[in-house]
Structure 1
Amino acid sequence: MTLSFLQIRKNYQLDDIEPYEELLQSENTKPVSILVPAYNESVGIYGSIRSLLSIEYPEYEIIIINDGSTDDTLEKLITRFKLVKINRVIRKQLDTKEIKGIYQSTLYPHLIVLDKENGGKADALNAGINCSRYPYFCSLDGDSIIERNAFLKVLKPIIESDDEIIASGGSVRIANGCTIQSGEVISIGLSNKPIVIMQVIEYLRAFLTGRVGLSQNNLLLIVSGAFGVFSKRWVIEAGGYAHTVGEDMELVVRLHRMVKEKRLNKKIVYVPDPVCWTEAPDSIKYLRRQRKRWHRGLFDSLWKHRKLMFNPKYGSIGFVSMPYFFFIEFLGPLIELIGYILLIVAVFTGSIHFEYALLFFLLSLIYGSIYSMSAVLLEEWSMERYPKVRHFVILFLVSLTETLWYRPLTVVWRVEGMIEMLFGKRGWGEMVRKGVSND
């Protein structure tokens, strides 16, 4: 948290001195291909593309990959963006499922749609990489709403690094409760559902404290699949996206592994300011499904690259990042659940000192709330995405309840993910989108 505070303050001061708009005229600004895998995204895809068409960036292309959708995603794209079928040579550098058709918008020539057989998110992204023309690509979720200047901000470190930085990730915020029209966030709000508000707090904490601190020391193992920019050359050399549950994390770990083995000085960074808004699950059913999947994906990545663990060849990645994600992020929920069970047993057997138990409970409540509210304060102080005092009060009050209900729930769900992993469960599971944009 301390490292994050200092780094965000440093970036905040630099932003005033070096406005991002100057990059619009810079000859060093890299063109970028924006890849949007879409599977049954009919509800939110139009708003997402509208937001991409209005971004502030000198040169880019948008490639929507329709991954065998069974709804009317493709039909909606063809109708609304006046798509026509074209012939385009694709250099197949990564293996993917068959491409059935390539479409181009007559309204926006830089908008391309690939229609392919279903192969999963990783396969769709690899197809998009094959089709892309530019040296950098950005992966975005099909239900995401991007801020106008987000690409200038997320690509700034890459532009200034002279190829030292090979991947850069931005922040993801919860769009539920916001007013979004034609792919643009008109006003920022909060959902009236506590389970969504808790996710807002959780995202702020994960991105503004965890990822900033890890990024500063080149320890970052996750660039969010909802909003990340990569050097195409290095991703292709690493073999592209793998067919795992957590393909975004697995790729980042593989990139770290590759550059360490080649003894190269390359970095993967997180930039807190550029924001991508996405729809969060607003029901217990789908949030539980998401968290189980995330935990299985975490283990997939760690197990596939277990060779890095405590291996001096991989430096701080092997001695800090991998152990942290294994012992704290992966095993932590199991240890915590055992603690809950032992606490309940101790209460019924009378082997607990009630006064000390109450004291530790209050300390836990205060610690968790201070940590959560520090992230909210960092957000308000540095980026001011939630300017209303009412929002701040709601976030504070809800964060006080996290220890009582939300954290135990996520612990149980993540342990369920571990059990599913032991039984060999694969796949993403169905996620229903309601859409956050008013077309």
Structure 2
Amino acid sequence: MDKTQILISILYFYNYLVVFYFIGINLIYILLNFLSFFEIRKYARENKVMNAGIIFRSNFYMPVSILVPAYNESRNIVDSVKSMLQLHYPEFEIIVINDGSKDNTADVLKAAYKMTEVSLEPSSGLASKIVHGTYISRTHRNLILIDKQNGGKADALNAGVNYSHYPLFCALDADSVLDNESILKMSRTFIENPDLIAAGGIIRVINGCRIEAGEVVSIDLPSSSLACFQIVEYLRGFLFGRTGWSAMDAMLIISGAFGIFKKKEVVDVGGYRSDTVGEDMELVIRLYNKYRPENKMKIKFVPDPVCYTEVPESLSVLSKQRNRWQRGLIDSLILNFNMFMNPRYGTVGLVAMPFFVIFEMLGPIIEFTGYIVFAFSFFMGIIGYKFCLLFTMASITLGIILSVSSILLEELTFRKYTKVSHTLWLFFYSIIENFGYKQMNTYFRFRGTIDYLLGSKHWGEMTRMGFKKDK
């Protein structure tokens, strides 16, 4: 066999690999869509029977510590805290952890909420950098500021857990705004599921929305096309992706922007790891690693509690974010690789871990190189014009169907985007994202994979635009 025949054989093999990859990932996506549809319908029915207000009026609630790590968040921190202070919940505290910001985040917060320095004792001993001072607001006694040496988000969250007083803690990004009843709806999930040790809510895009007194008063689409693409992406990822995995009792990701955890279990596994850029996913998988073999735990996604967060509006910031997400995902999977195909972990070990390893960890390599090999094979005449056209059309059509169905589900259930023009624009972006945006994201994730292999641990700063406010 000469070199040309060897090359042709390799190309044939790789094209078959790409085709099987395409079939596999889309079959799983379709399964997740079906599971999500029935799960959300079930949630909607149960929500009519027992609404969150019943919990507020009863004593069947668990007090919550809201942890807000902040690094250079002076533009948004006051509005974010204002939003949290208005939460409809019987008992909670807000702990802002200033992680050695280079701007005046701490000073802005101290001035806005009249904070005074006090001596507080930590309730747990998770590893974290030196704490320079602790402060309490004179106007809101449930608002605490921890000013500490820079150590990264995971380190800041560990410090927050150490100084928290309640059995549940909510990890929340500083650029996030919660719906007033978000914590209340999440708390209900913990009451109904005694074995639950963590839960995540849906993340929605705040770009284009109007904020007044720390509350989202009107929801609109952003002027940035890049942000609109991400709205479609978030709806697809949360309403279908995470709801489906939650239905299978195998949800590996709780967004770092909004998640609630039982403090004791998190402390028992050592808190957040500061040596990974995917600290949120890694913690969730480590909780499964410890507690799933003992059948002592559940982790759920709740589709209704809403957290609004700012998404990148520039390609440079988006590329850094997706690069970091990919490196964090790879790190989380490798650190807990003992769970891969391990029946002791049920659907997590036998379904979720293989999916994330094959389609999320290795997927960007297969997809990115697949585009190149596919084009090369076409020009060499290894694959025909009709096959190339049919495969491309099938790929694009399935992508459109998955995105459009997520928007339809949004319209049939929660319907946050109320204008007809909103729906039409989202349909438009769900179609055209298949002609460049998805491929660009594949490249960003591919670069993240390469950077991981090269040993990169850099976080990558995100430039904030700030919230859109009423004058």
TM range (shorter): over 0.9
Q: Distance in 2 between matches of 1:248 and 1:421?
A: 17
Matched, 1:25 2:57: yes
Aligned residue in 2 for 1:111: 143
Aligned residue in 2 for 1:432: 463
Decide whether aligned partners of structure 1 residues 158 and 92 sit closer, same or farther in structure 2, where only a CA change above 3 A counts: closer
Q: Distance in 2 between matches of 1:354 and 1:338?
A: 20
The one-character-per-residue Cα deviations of 1:359-397 (angstroms, maximum 9, x if unpaired) are: 222222221111001111111111011111101111111
The one-character-per-residue Cα deviations of 1:123-182 (angstroms, maximum 9, x if unpaired) are: 1000000100000000000000100011111121101223x1011110000111111122
Q: Distance in 2 between matches of 1:389 and 1:334?
A: 39
Q: Distance in 2 between matches of 1:364 and 1:303?
A: 30
My pick for the range that moved more, 373-382 or 51-60, is 373-382
Matched, 1:137 2:169: yes
The one-character-per-residue Cα deviations of 1:269-289 (angstroms, maximum 9, x if unpaired) are: 000001100000001000000
My pick for the range that moved more, 117-126 or 87-96, is 87-96
Q: Distance in 2 between matches of 1:26 and 1:222?
A: 31
Aligned residue in 1 for 2:423: 392
Deviation at 1:93?
1.9
Say whether the 8 Å CA contact 1:35–1:140 is kept in structure 2: yes
The one-character-per-residue Cα deviations of 1:199-228 (angstroms, maximum 9, x if unpaired) are: 101110110001111111210111111000
SS of equivalent residue, structure 2 residue 469 = coil
Say whether the 8 Å CA contact 2:400–2:431 is kept in structure 1: yes
- AA in 2 matched with 1:10: K
SS of equivalent residue, structure 1 residue 270 = strand
Superposed counterparts of 1:42-191, under 5 Å: 42-162=74-194, 164-191=195-222
Q: Distance in 1 between matches of 2:336 and 2:46?
A: 37
Deviation at 1:308?
0.9
What do you get for the CA RMSD once the two structures are aligned?
Answer: 1.2
My pick for the range that moved more, 245-254 or 362-371, is 362-371
Aligned residue in 2 for 1:367: 398
Say whether the 8 Å CA contact 2:64–2:91 is kept in structure 1: yes
TM-score relative to the length of structure 1 = 0.97
My pick for the range that moved more, 53-62 or 151-160, is 151-160
Say whether the 8 Å CA contact 2:378–2:388 is kept in structure 1: no
Deviation at 1:92?
3.9
Aligned residue in 2 for 1:200: 231
Say whether the 8 Å CA contact 1:4–1:213 is kept in structure 2: yes
Q: Distance in 2 between matches of 1:346 and 1:215?
A: 40
The one-character-per-residue Cα deviations of 1:401-427 (angstroms, maximum 9, x if unpaired) are: 122101110111101001101110002
Say whether the 8 Å CA contact 1:182–1:437 is kept in structure 2: no
SS of equivalent residue, structure 1 residue 57 = coil
Q: Distance in 2 between matches of 1:38 and 1:290?
A: 17
- AA in 2 matched with 1:329: E
Say whether the 8 Å CA contact 2:124–2:267 is kept in structure 1: no
Matched, 1:218 2:264: no
Say whether the 8 Å CA contact 1:223–1:252 is kept in structure 2: yes
How many residues of Structure 1 are paired with residues of Structure 2 in the alignment? 437
Deviation at 1:437?
4.3
The one-character-per-residue Cα deviations of 1:272-320 (angstroms, maximum 9, x if unpaired) are: 0011000000010000000000000001100101111112222221111
- AA in 1 matched with 2:142: H
Residue segments in structure 2 that go unaligned for 5+ positions in a row: 1-32
Matched, 1:296 2:327: yes
Q: Distance in 1 between matches of 2:50 and 2:192?
A: 12
SS of equivalent residue, structure 2 residue 133 = strand
Q: Distance in 1 between matches of 2:467 and 2:377?
A: 46
TM-score relative to the length of structure 2 = 0.91
Q: Distance in 1 between matches of 2:80 and 2:73?
A: 10
Say whether the 8 Å CA contact 1:183–1:437 is kept in structure 2: no
Task: Report percent identity of matched pairs.
Answer: 46
Aligned residue in 2 for 1:324: 355
My pick for the range that moved more, 412-421 or 339-348, is 339-348
SS of equivalent residue, structure 2 residue 451 = helix
Matched, 1:16 2:48: yes
SS of equivalent residue, structure 2 residue 434 = helix
Q: Distance in 2 between matches of 1:186 and 1:396?
A: 24
SS of equivalent residue, structure 1 residue 404 = coil
Superposed counterparts of 1:256-405, under 5 Å: 256-261=288-293, 263-405=294-436
Residue segments in structure 1 that go unaligned for 5+ positions in a row: none
SS of equivalent residue, structure 2 residue 189 = helix
Matched, 1:232 2:263: yes
Q: Distance in 2 between matches of 1:56 and 1:184?
A: 12
Deviation at 1:245?
0.5
Deviation at 1:91?
2.9
- AA in 2 matched with 1:93: G
Q: Which has the larger radius of gyration?
A: 2
Say whether the 8 Å CA contact 1:102–1:114 is kept in structure 2: yes
